[in-house]
Chain A
Amino acid sequence: MPNPMHQFEIKRLIELDLFGIDVSFTNSSLFMLLAMAAISALTIFGMRGRALVPTRLQSVAEISYEFVASMVRDNIGVAGLKYFPFVFTLFMFVLFLNMLGMVPYSFTVTSHIIVTFAMAVFIFIGVTVIGFAKHGLGFLKFFVPSGVPVFLLPLLVVIEVISYLTRPISLSVRLFANMMAGHTMLKVFGAFVVGMGALFGWMPLAFMVAFTGLEILVAFLQAYVFAILTCIYLNDAIHMHH
């Protein structure tokens, strides 16, 4: 049986070394650039007509824009429009990396914890900086829930701080684990199709067809969750409500 984790291996396509740091161009780098190119193509090439009545491609670009714009507006409000380009880039990047991963023989960049964790930590630090920049030390009040008995406060503040600090972990692990689990599962069932032969192989194959549909849904959903949680964290930092 083939190793289901084999698909996650990083392969160095071009060995590169910069001041002693390994910056090799890998299969992961390739798919990041592919996602970047695809998103740019959709949003720039797709919009080239600037038509009043949009073409199909232009429609997709506009729907993506409106989708993220309404997400930002609903979760953060007018103050969030400053961060719209970031949330849009983040959503499209994660969505395209997830979707490109669904192509057979491709590589899923978001199935690597280091990638999702780096993005989550960046968001976490950014949100914390925005919080302190907006409210100064008053941002610490975010960790003090209102309307609770005083003797419970020390415990609750500790819990609030821990839950705040675990945000980057939950945010990154959710995306990484979903991607890795789905692709591992597909690979395992793919091996079953071969292993069970012509007589019974159709059973795991039928499962795989349905599961692929589910995985495409998960690929979209996880990108959405990643973006909407970013919006919620930004809203916490800007407006400080729970």
Chain B
Amino acid sequence: MPQLEFHDWAPQLIWLAISFVTLYLIMARVAIPRIGTVIEERRDRIATDLDQAEQLKKDTEEAIAAYEQALAEARAKAHAIAQETRDKLSAEVEAERTEVEAKIADKTAEAEARIQASKSAALAHVNEVAADTAEAIVKELVGGRVTKAELKAAVSAATN
């Protein structure tokens, strides 16, 4: 069994010590710090990126909230303006309408007065016509023996 050739042990032990110690020094001094730094840097970078993403997300949410607020305000303002305009217009219309109505009422009253006047005038004439007619008829029938005053009195008594 070559493993038990004792005269081969010394060179193996010496070279094991040489190679292991050299490798240990290379690893401990150069390789491990280097790998550690790279991994650390990557971890930091990822953490920073995540923080940044979080910050950006927050900013976006704030912007959206501000936009929605502005939108709501604008909507409220537009509503107020529309309401005001509507109120103003309806007030104007109302005023005009009352004016027109007053005018119409005046005219109606005037017209009624005129009609009343015409009617009474007409009625007054009716008495006269009736008297004339009665005179003519009486004259035709009895031959002019009734005075105008008697006739008038008679007509008035008949029409009233």
Contacts and interface: CB of A to CB of B under 8 A. Distances in A.
A39 interface: yes
A22 B11 contact: yes
B22 A119 contact: no
Given A12-B11, A66-B39, A118 B16 contact: yes
Interface string A107-131: 0010111110011000000000000
Interface string B23-58: 110111011101111110110010000000000000
Contacts of B11: 10, 12, 16, 22-26, 28-29
B3 A176 contact: yes
Contacts of B13: 114-115, 118
Interface stretch (A80-88, A156-164, A190-198, A226-234): A80-88
15 contacts: A5-B2, A10-B8, A16-B11, A24-B11, A32-B16, A35-B19, A44-B30, A47-B34, A50-B41, A61-B35, A89-B23, A109-B16, A114-B3, A114-B9, A119-B16
Given A52-B42, A88-B27, A36 B15 contact: no
Nearest to A6: B2
A43 interface: yes
Given A47-B35, A62-B38, A114-B9, A85 B28 contact: yes
Contacts, number: 128
Interface of B: 1-5, 7-16, 18-20, 22-24, 26-28, 30-32, 34-39, 41-42, 45
A52 B3 contact: no
Interface in A29-57: 29, 32-33, 35-36, 39-40, 43-44, 47, 50-52, 54
Contact of B5 (A10, A62, A84): A10
Contacts of B38: 47, 50-51, 54, 58, 62
Given A62-B38, A109-B12, 8 more contacts: A24-B11, A44-B31, A54-B38, A61-B35, A89-B28, A92-B23, A92-B27, A113-B3
A93 interface: yes
B28 A115 contact: no
